[in-house]
Structure 1
Amino acid sequence: MKLQMIRKTKDPGIGEKYDKKSHRIINQNGTFNVQRVGRQSRIKDIYLLMVTTSWTNFIFFTALYLIGINLIFACLYFFVGVHHIEGVDHTTGWKGFADAFFFSVQTFTTVGYGSMYPDSFGVKAISSFEALLGLLITALTTGLLFSRFSRPTARVVFSKNALITEYKNGKKAFMFRMVNERKENLLETNATVILSLQNKTSDGSYSRKYYNLDLQIDHIYFFPLTWTVVHEIDEDSPFFNLSHQELKDYDAEILIIITSYDEAFYEDLHIKHSYHIDDFVWDKKFKKAFYTNDHGEVILKVKDVHTIE
């Protein structure tokens, strides 16, 4: 059956026509391959970025921000005169600046050991403002930490490759595998899989067509082990009679949306992933990732979700 005879699905919100050939739609980390320009940056955007960024970036930028603020106030104290701070050991040079920095940290965090304290109106005014700013930033940082810890995030791991391989009755199937890396249970998990094909039109532009793939099982009640999502390639499949080279020419990409209910946070989760044609592997199969030990316990080897043979 020709591809033109397969019923397309409507544009899922990504667009159908492009001036030039585009890269993959969804990156492997689940983000869209879209660069936004000309938008106005807002403080709320920075807050959302700090909530959603990785822990490594969060710790780095938070530390950089806090150190930067204290360096600014240390410069102000040094400019006004470190000798106006009682208890400092040095009033000039780098040692004097270091004492001003340590005084700034104590003021910012409202620790106040008592060994150093302001002794002029200028230093008192600066330290009062810094103490109030420190309370505000501490509250903001605490809110960010709470938002990060309370935000439900999925740790669903997808196999590195998607397979096109022999399945049943001599027919082939497209499949990929995933596993819940966390111990917390995911319930009522659903999978939606869309094939995207891109080709050049007569006017020189590029067009994307989308095909919703029928799955052998698109819903499971429990997700304690691996789940291999399978699309059988029959006469009604957009994969039917398409060779490896033809899929490459079409720049084929599989778009995946997983929805599930997080039992720990009592909230719904939405997970995005994609497989580009370069991630496809032919005529292989997934190695079983779990077994039962002598005590009757099911042992799941999470890393084996990627293993093919």
Structure 2
Amino acid sequence: MGSVRSHRYSIVSSEEDGMKLASIAVPNGYGNGNMTKVHTERPQQSRFVSKDGHCNVQFINMREKGQRYLADIFTTCVDIRWRWMLLVFCLSFLLFTAAFLFSVETQTTIGYGYRYVTEECPIAVFMVVFQSIVGCIIDAFIIGAVMAKMAKPKKRNETLVFSHYATVAMRDAKLCLMWRVGNLRKSHLVEAHVRAQLLKSRTTAEGEFIPLDQVDIDVGFDSGIDRIFLVSPITIVHEIDEDSPFYEMNKQELETSDFEIVVILEGMVEATAMTTQCRSSYVASEILWGHRFEPVLFEEKNYYKVDYSRFDNTYEVPSTPQCSARELAERKSNCSSRNSFCYENEVALEKVEMEEEFEEEEEHKVLRVIEPLNDSNIDLVSECDPNIDSLTLEERPLTAESEI
């Protein structure tokens, strides 16, 4: 259990490994979470989404805004601030003194004093009944709105945290963009899943300028890795491959680019079964190239311990390449092609050598078979005709030639 898991979202480490990482001393001071990243001076980029998840957007020139908001009055009351909601509740009573007291006596059914309704004024009787009914409706509406405001899952986001920095480093021989999420409560976030989008301005082929173009960042949607079990902090991983918007960015280009990465964590609150969404963002100056997060989950004797003091800490990885993922892939492909070429040459040479050896062996076998036959033929001729060489041409026997 003390060994590091091979899963891409591996979160368990040993106490000894954590102490080693915490004691690393590097020249730029990143070793123990003291992150002092140096960049060239450039204008501060305006955030679309702040670090606490609020969207920095203001709506202007909206047509019929009041009518649209009143059409959905319940949502309006749930969304407005408490001060305005209390004001609406108080306005259900009249403002001038005598009518206000009479209205309070009627609406709260506490009884009348000197002011009371008689049969001499039928309109007053009707208004008392009408106000009683309307008062019950207003009370029920206000109570429902108050309960809805108190049960909103928005406050649950206070205990869902994102790391202050994102990192770029190698993982499983691939260049990856990583950030960390955590849950400060012991109650679970049901069906938790993560998403990410890149916000960057661009100009189309037709010359149209898009100030905030939204591009999805893959965090494992197809494979299902985007769905997480958020019991302890987890590092979210985006592999920078051919489909990634960062595929052609090296370290220098990433640090000088103007973009924003919006990260989103969604899930259902276990207590209320209401869906909540927690957001944060990272700009280029908050992405650390060549760093990894320190482990925060350690295995004890009978339990696991999460140290949130290490949640934002990173340590430097000097072996991280400074080039883009595309250049890294090209280098690997060139190296593999050279290796395959050398291997093919070796195989061809070995094949030629084997063929030559085989031919030599065949020649030796033929020679071994022919030599005994030649020796036996010579001996046979010498035994049969011992004096044939001493005979004259006329005396030698004529041998018939074989017909072809």
Asked if the contact 1:191–1:256 (Cα under 8 Å) also holds between the matched residues in 2, the reply is yes
Structure 1 residue aligned with 2:169: 166
State the SS of the aligned residue for 2:92.
Answer: helix
Q: Which runs of 5+ in 2 are unaligned?
A: 1-44, 316-404
Q: Which runs of 5+ in 1 are unaligned?
A: 1-21, 83-99
State the SS of the aligned residue for 1:41.
Answer: helix
Max Rg structure: 2
Aligned length: 257
Structure 2 residue aligned with 1:223: 230
CA RMSD of the aligned region, Å?
4.2
Determine whether 1:239 maps to 2:246.
yes
Deviation of 1:298 (Å): 4.1
Asked if the contact 1:197–1:251 (Cα under 8 Å) also holds between the matched residues in 2, the reply is yes
Asked if the contact 1:192–1:218 (Cα under 8 Å) also holds between the matched residues in 2, the reply is no
State the SS of the aligned residue for 1:255.
Answer: strand
Q: Which amino acid aligns with 2:180?
A: R
Looking at structure 1, the residues matched to 241 and 49 of structure 2 have their Cα atoms a distance apart, in angstroms, of 26
Deviation of 1:135 (Å): 1.0
Deviation of 1:65 (Å): 1.4
Structure 2 residue aligned with 1:199: 202
Relative distance call for 1:307 and 1:33 in structure 2 (3 A) is farther
Looking at structure 1, the residues matched to 128 and 285 of structure 2 have their Cα atoms a distance apart, in angstroms, of 57
TM-score norm. by structure 2 comes to: 0.49
Structure 2 residue aligned with 1:47: 74
Relative distance call for 1:247 and 1:128 in structure 2 (3 A) is farther
Counting aligned pairs with the same residue, the percent is 20
Relative distance call for 1:106 and 1:264 in structure 2 (3 A) is same
Structure 2 residue aligned with 1:176: 179
Structure 2 residue aligned with 1:38: 63
Looking at structure 2, the residues matched to 302 and 126 of structure 1 have their Cα atoms a distance apart, in angstroms, of 62
Looking at structure 1, the residues matched to 195 and 241 of structure 2 have their Cα atoms a distance apart, in angstroms, of 18
Deviation of 1:26 (Å): 4.8
Q: Which amino acid aligns with 1:74?
A: L
Asked if the contact 1:196–1:211 (Cα under 8 Å) also holds between the matched residues in 2, the reply is no
Structure 1 residue aligned with 2:287: 281
Relative distance call for 1:52 and 1:132 in structure 2 (3 A) is same
Alpha-carbon displacement from aligned partner over 1:202-243 (angstroms, at most 9, x marks no partner): 847236362533449833452211122122445664324525
Higher strand share: 1
Q: Which amino acid aligns with 1:164?
A: T
Asked if the contact 1:233–1:239 (Cα under 8 Å) also holds between the matched residues in 2, the reply is yes
Looking at structure 2, the residues matched to 277 and 260 of structure 1 have their Cα atoms a distance apart, in angstroms, of 25
Looking at structure 2, the residues matched to 65 and 134 of structure 1 have their Cα atoms a distance apart, in angstroms, of 13
Bigger mean CA deviation after superposition, 296-305 or 125-134: 296-305
Relative distance call for 1:172 and 1:136 in structure 2 (3 A) is same
Deviation of 1:140 (Å): 0.9
Structure 1 residue aligned with 2:263: 256
Bigger mean CA deviation after superposition, 61-70 or 283-292: 283-292
Higher helix share: 2
